[in-house]
Amino acid sequence: MMLTTSLIMLWPLVRERALALRALLVAGAAVIAVLTALDRVFIGVHYPSDVTAGVLLGCGLSVASFLGFSHRPRATKEPV
């Protein structure tokens, strides 16, 4: 959830930036999420089914936030 929240907060800042920066941000978040999920199973604090459900929930929230931001109308610069 923390990664999804961080990605949602940072996405508007990198929206107009280079594709490589956006790809790096998403890839970095994905790597951290996978490593954390594997760590939780390996140290025995969660069952694999719990971790799988959490990963699916995180992926769903990430896709929903991406779709929400990608269809948001852009601000226009009109004189006030």
Q: Could you write out the DSSP letters of every residue in 21-62?
A: HHHHHHHHHHHHHHHHHHHHHHTTSS-HHHHHHHHHHHHHHH
Residue 80: inside a domain: no
pLDDT above 70: residue 43: yes
Local confidence band at 5 (pLDDT 50, 70, 90 cut-offs): confident
Local confidence band at 48 (pLDDT 50, 70, 90 cut-offs): very high
Residue 36: inside a domain: yes
Residue 79: inside a domain: no
Domain count along the chain? 1
Domain that holds residue 60: 2-69
Residue 14: inside a domain: yes
